[in-house]
């Protein structure tokens, strides 16, 4: 999926029913986990391999959902909202209390955005404007991602460099 300059409908909201995941940083050294049989891997190596495989599957699934909805990432004028399910270990009272509130713990918002962009485009250097990004708790089994197409509002740039 690549960026498009075709006109998007301003105000349109696209909901992707997939629980947001964070970016997994991989290195050249991680290739070894794919060469060693699973039964020979140590617990830490197996855990790392499973995390990488889960992230790769997330990227494939997210791209497939976007293609099925006909959504392409615009280069400007986009709001992104991540809805993250509350942990199952929390009490019912705490789950209801946090539903709809801002998510202010891990995963970091920049890693959620990076995972989303890695899934949808080869290079995100063409993104010139993102209106807002947020993440919220939800008291549901799974989360979702919403993209809203907006009119980009850019500040006026002075003709001369401001002096202090």
Q: For every one of its 164 residues, what pLDDT tens digit does the chain have, with 9 covering 90 and above?
A: 444 444 556 778 889 999 998 888 877 887 777 788 888 888 888 888 888 889 889 999 999 999 999 888 887 788 999 999 999 999 999 999 999 999 998 889 999 999 998 888 887 777 778 888 999 999 999 999 999 988 777 778 888 888 86
pLDDT score, position 4? 47
The contacts found for 36-39 with CB under 8 angstroms, 24 or more apart, are: none
Which pLDDT score, from 0 to 100, does residue 53 have? 87
Q: Indicate the Cα dihedral angle 125, 131, 137, 143, nearest 10°.
A: -60
Contact between 11 and 83 under an 8 Å Cβ cutoff? The reply is no
Give the start-to-end residue ranges of the domains of the chain. Answer: 13-149
- Range 13-149 classified under CATH 1.10.286: no
CB 112 within 8 A of CB 49: no
Residue 7 confidence (pLDDT):
52
131 prior amide bond cis, ω within 30: no
Does this model's pTM top 0.85? My answer is no
Alpha helix segments (H runs only) across 6-140: 32-35, 43-69, 92-98, 109-120
Length of the chain: 164
Cα separation, 7 vs 20, in Å, equals 27
Helix (H, G, I), strand (E, B) or coil at 31: helix
């Amino acid at each position: 999926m690549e960026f498009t300059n075709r006109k998007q409908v301003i105000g349109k909201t696209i909901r992707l029913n997939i629980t947001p995941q964070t970016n997994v940083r991989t290195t050249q050294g991680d290739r070894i986990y794919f060469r060693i049989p699973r039964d020979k891997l140590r617990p830490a190596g197996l855990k790392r391999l499973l995390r990488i495989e889960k992230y790769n599957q997330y990227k494939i699934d997210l791209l497939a959902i976007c293609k099925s909805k006909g959504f392409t990432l615009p280069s400007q004028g986009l709001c992104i909202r991540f809805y993250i399910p509350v942990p199952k270990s929390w009490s019912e009272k705490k789950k209801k209390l946090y539903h709809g509130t801002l998510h202010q713990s891990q995963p970091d918002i920049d890693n959620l955005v990076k995972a989303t962009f890695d899934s949808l485009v080869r290079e995100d250097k063409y993104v010139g404007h993102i209106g807002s990004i947020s993440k919220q708790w939800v008291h549901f089994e799974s989360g979702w991602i919403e993209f809203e197409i907006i009119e980009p509002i850019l500040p006026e740039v002075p003709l001369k460099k401001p002096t202090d």
